[in-house]
Amino acid sequence: MAEMLQVLILALEIMNEESSALGLEINWNKTKIQASDIIVDAPPDIIILGHKVDMRLIPSSISVHRLMLVGETILIFVEQ
């Protein structure tokens, strides 16, 4: 979990840098990270570039299905 979280943080930092070059900003208030509730060491929130980002836990009773569209990934959550 910790390694994947560090990769995600790095990706968000790079996305912030790249978008800033285009005059765009990430809305950190709306940015959320989702993790399965079976990960017991998931922090409630993390700090990225000085912004608090909430960690939302998805119940393990919900399965995730991925639908790929052109340029987008849509995740569909189905309760088992």
Burial group, residue 18, by CB count within 10 angstroms (0-12, 13-18, 19+): exposed
pLDDT tens digit sequence for 23-34? 999 999 888 887
Which carries the bigger pLDDT value, residue 12 or residue 5?
A: 12
Q: Which whole-number Å values give the CA distances from 33 to 21, 23, 46, 80, in the listed order?
A: 24, 24, 9, 22
User: Per-residue confidence at 50, pLDDT binned at 50, 70, 90?
Assistant: very high
Amino acid symbol at 71? G
pLDDT at 59 over 60: yes
What are the boundaries of each domain within the chain?
2-79
Q: How far apart are CA 5 and CA 46, in angstroms?
A: 10
Tokens matching residue 43: 């922090």
